[in-house]
Structure 1
Amino acid sequence: MNADKKLPLYQLFIPPVNLMELRKDIWCNDPLPAKLTINKKKLDIDIVYRGSHIREFRKKSYHVVFYKPHTFKGAKEIHLNAEYKDKSLLRNKLSLDFFADIGTLAPKSQFVSLNLNGKDEGIYLELESVDEYYLKRRNLPEGSIFYAVDGDANFSLMSDLDQGIKKSLEMGYEKKCGTVKDEWYLQQLLIQINTISKGDFEGEIVKYIDVEKYLRWLAGVILTQNYDGFVHNYALYRNGDTGLFEIIPWDYDATWGRDVNGEVMEEDYVGIEGFNTLTARILDIRAFRLRYQSLLKEIMDLRFNVGHMKPIIIGLHDQISPYVSKDPYIKDNKAIFDDEPDSILKFIEERAKYIKGQLYKLD
């Protein structure tokens, strides 16, 4: 399907003294000047390693901020993901495209070929940043965006990390864009989730969160089986027109049958009801639960099945396959890379069978 489509070449030049600085302290978040050439267009950028545990991998991931010009193709920044632990390199893109297909806001992504200081670094996934420019490109209403940066983004008043009451309601979140008033809106959301009575919950929670979109997102997390997706790996966007929060997925490489270390994750590892406080409260309401059940059935019928997903998976695999030999980190594992589409398709079959066997729990 996409075999004839060439990957864009991203030529990254980091002055040797800055590259030494970057490598000296991989945890430093102070960006360093560099240059990026895309289709002969030379860009001045600031660059830093991105991610948490992934910074320790041999193949680094990068956070790029455009400096001159200030934006490029309508973006202020992009992320270049190594997808180092994903043997297929496909899972993140496959997931984010899947979320978009089922009606959830999701970042766009594309595969690129990265060259660093004249040396091939292989296949990378360029990820769109979720920020105010993300909203502008989609003609979405202005609003605030909060990143869920750790396990305390669990929609609870209790800390997952400290095992006690949160010292601040914003624990687990980092404001990407918005005002001080938007921080108050986030606090109100969390208070309401945890204090509205069961009798009032169905009528009241819809004043704070777009429940239909939340249920579509939940279906996506459950079907792709992202274990971290409930308290991490998402962003909250408060739509300035509706005043409702929507949820956006992020970092979905540990999906489609593999965990964060690239090891096999059995198809029944995450239950149909997921977890986190908001999900539990929403699924406690019969009308919401039945809508979620209906969405799961619909998505499995139309999209989460081998017939629909196979040409998508094969198309992406064929697109990047010619570049594997130039990727110094995976070129010796071409056989494993070539086996991965079958592994993903097997997971889809088994996961769908498992979910269908669990649907009765939502009656």
Structure 2
Amino acid sequence: MAGTVIASMLLSACSNEAETTTTTQTAVNTEKQTSESNAQTASYAQNFNKDEVMSFSIDVDEDAWQEMLDTAAEENYIKANVTINGTTIENVGIRAKGNSSLRQVAGDDTTDRYSFKIKFDEYVKGQTWNGLDKMVVNNMISDASYMKEYLSYDIMSYIGVDAPLFAFANINVNGKTWGLYLAVEDIDSGYLDRAKNGEGEIYKPNNDGNMGAGGMGNPMGMGNPPAEGDAAGAGDRQPPEGMEPPSDTDNSTSNANSQTANTRGEGGRGFGRGGGMNGSTNGVSLVYTDDKVSSYSGIFDNAKTKTTEEDEKRVIEALKNLNAGTNLEKAVDVDAVLKYFAAHTVVVNMDSYTSNMGHNYYLYENNGQLSMLPWDYNMAFGGFMAGSASDVVNLAIDTPLSGVTMEERPILSKLLEVPEYKAKYHEYLQEIVDGYFADGKFEQTVQTLDKLITDYVKNDPTAFVTYDKYKAAVAELTKLGTLRAESIQGQLDGTIPATTEEQKSSPNTLIDSSSIDLTKLGDDLNKGKGMNGGGPWQGFERNSGNQETKKAEQSDTTK
């Protein structure tokens, strides 16, 4: 009996020792994997050095490359080897990307300068570039300065928004210079691991092609007529991403209509009142309608992470509380959203949530809290639906909208209804003005960027603009940014009204913007086709690209 007990004790001790060894080894392996993952993430992040120009080489079969360019609207991937800052990743996927920007290039037989999407695991499962699964390189269309998107993300990052990583990239294809682009980290699983510790869900709300209950409002007269003394307005600036023009559009009357037909929403710029293309349907406006998941297809059909019904219910519950103005700090990451809107308001990007468009943002949800992430800012600094230069410079900080009311944009309006949150929003605006613009800081930043990229622009073989027009745009952007900050400071001080309605009543208080010519920032980029040639709707037929490719990309993301 005693022998049996002793044997049992020995077996138990051996078993416990084995379990301890196994547990210890598992912990070591987990720690090692975590360490390796963090090292990879840090490695790709270090390669997005915004103070340098990335080296970006694409080696690809010439015939496959040409076929991709010839059929760019289909957005099909082809196989290529990509070398980034000296590191080669083989067998990656590359395709053209964009909506209206893609159509502009496709409609111009003088250029193949598309934006591109790089998917590192398209052909090799699990392959990444040091932890990053996707990235984009943007072609600077509609931006003669090459700087608008860079500066927008930089301002977002400055105030503490989790913006995607970005850096200029000099692209070569098969050993030949292709052009200077902006490389941007895709907001996907790699971003989620880097910026959010792999936690939460990401959606890209979008409802392209849906005109909303109220229609387009004033489709041909984008923006108000220039105020007296303004050098140039933007009434015929770029049409919305993916929007199809009315079949009975008469281009010959568009300029006349823009003088009379434009009605101003609470934001006061751009389109007239109405539901808008993405304004009020399927959840993209973040307006709560009911508890049905199907009512928010514009959000949930565009999930970037693998989501469940429980995830979707958390979003709906957050929207319900947000729209009711209850439990706001439970429903919204208030500080993150206030920082986002402070930076967004400074850079005046109306191809976004704050206009009838209602798109070009990511929705991040974690533990039932919502926040917004920035995306697609090449039309910032008045590049879209801007109206006059004065509209851009003096955009009201407390109603920074275009063609929609504050009620139609609840994640902004409900926060600004709370005095404490509104005061914090103003503090963030002041912080941006003081830290990024005041005392010549903005001018110095632009000069530094000009010094960094000027030789690349001068030698850019596919550039949309001449080098002289680039230099003129840089000078104009400097003036515009300086005056914009001056207006914001006046609105914060109370010498300039901070709402659109109050500004209408006191136009003499606004900053004089008669020296600004918005057209120098990118009004003639498409060389007479699409954006300005033959009327503002030419070349903008609806094209959704390869939907199978896009759906696959939306569903293949794992935590």
* One-letter code aligned to 2:378: D
Q: Does 1:60 align with 2:114?
A: yes
Contact 2:394 2:488 in 1 (8 A): no
Contact 1:324 1:331 in 2 (8 A): no
Q: Quick one: structure 1 residues 163 and 121, their matched pair in 2 at CA, closer, same or farther if it must change by over 3 Å? A: closer
| Corresponding residue of 1:15 | 61
What SS class does the counterpart of residue 168 from structure 1 fall into? helix
- Which runs of structure 2 are paired with 1:86-97 in the superposition (5 Å)? 86-97=143-154
Contact 1:147 1:236 in 2 (8 A): yes
What SS class does the counterpart of residue 352 from structure 2 fall into? helix
Q: Does 1:253 align with 2:310?
A: no
Contact 1:225 1:255 in 2 (8 A): yes
- How far residue 42 of structure 1 moved from its aligned partner, in angstroms, is 4.3
| Corresponding residue of 1:176 | 304
Contact 2:56 2:169 in 1 (8 A): yes
- How far residue 336 of structure 1 moved from its aligned partner, in angstroms, is 1.8
Distance 1:187 1:349 in 2: 41
Distance 1:279 1:298 in 2: 19
Distance 1:286 1:110 in 2: 37
| Corresponding residue of 1:210 | 333
**Alignment match of 1:274 (pick from 380, 400, 405):** 400
Structure 2 residue runs without a partner (length 5+): 1-50, 106-110, 214-273, 283-293, 402-408, 500-559
Q: Deviations over 1:163-182 (max 9, x none)?
A: 87546213156111141132
TM-score (norm 1): 0.85
What SS class does the counterpart of residue 420 from structure 2 fall into? helix
**Alignment match of 1:325 (pick from 443, 458, 461):** 458
Distance 1:159 1:189 in 2: 23
What SS class does the counterpart of residue 317 from structure 1 fall into? helix
- How far residue 19 of structure 1 moved from its aligned partner, in angstroms, is 2.6
| Corresponding residue of 1:161 | 277
Distance 2:335 2:182 in 1: 30
Q: Quick one: structure 1 residues 183 and 321, their matched pair in 2 at CA, closer, same or farther if it must change by over 3 Å? A: same
- Which runs of structure 2 are paired with 1:1-363 in the superposition (5 Å)? 7-38=53-84, 39=86, 41-56=88-103, 57=105, 58=111, 59-67=113-121, 68=124, 70-138=127-195, 140-150=197-207, 160-161=276-277, 166=282, 168-171=295-298, 174-180=302-308, 181-194=310-323, 196=324, 201=325, 203-230=326-353, 231-240=358-367, 243-259=368-384, 266-268=391-393, 270-272=395-397, 273-275=399-401, 276-305=409-438, 307-330=440-463, 333-359=466-492, 360=494
After the TM superposition, which of the residue ranges 108-117 and 331-340 deviates more from structure 2? 331-340
Report the aligned-residue RMSD.
3.0
* One-letter code aligned to 1:74: G
After the TM superposition, which of the residue ranges 208-217 and 33-42 deviates more from structure 2? 33-42
Q: Quick one: structure 1 residues 50 and 351, their matched pair in 2 at CA, closer, same or farther if it must change by over 3 Å? A: same
What SS class does the counterpart of residue 73 from structure 2 fall into? coil
Q: Quick one: structure 1 residues 110 and 81, their matched pair in 2 at CA, closer, same or farther if it must change by over 3 Å? A: same
Q: Deviations over 1:246-302 (max 9, x none)?
A: 2111111112343389x9685346432224232122222222222222322232122
- How far residue 134 of structure 1 moved from its aligned partner, in angstroms, is 1.0
Q: Quick one: structure 1 residues 141 and 164, their matched pair in 2 at CA, closer, same or farther if it must change by over 3 Å? A: closer
TM-score (norm 2): 0.57
- How far residue 130 of structure 1 moved from its aligned partner, in angstroms, is 1.0
Contact 1:110 1:126 in 2 (8 A): yes
Q: How many residues align?
A: 347
Distance 2:377 2:312 in 1: 26
Q: Which has the larger radius of gyration?
A: 2
After the TM superposition, which of the residue ranges 52-61 and 30-39 deviates more from structure 2? 30-39
Structure 1 residue runs without a partner (length 5+): none
- How far residue 356 of structure 1 moved from its aligned partner, in angstroms, is 3.0
* One-letter code aligned to 1:98: I
Q: Deviations over 1:193-225 (max 9, x none)?
A: 33x1xxxx2x51211111111111111111111
Contact 1:306 1:349 in 2 (8 A): no
What SS class does the counterpart of residue 296 from structure 2 fall into? coil
What SS class does the counterpart of residue 455 from structure 2 fall into? helix
Contact 2:364 2:370 in 1 (8 A): yes
Contact 1:238 1:246 in 2 (8 A): yes
Contact 2:161 2:340 in 1 (8 A): yes
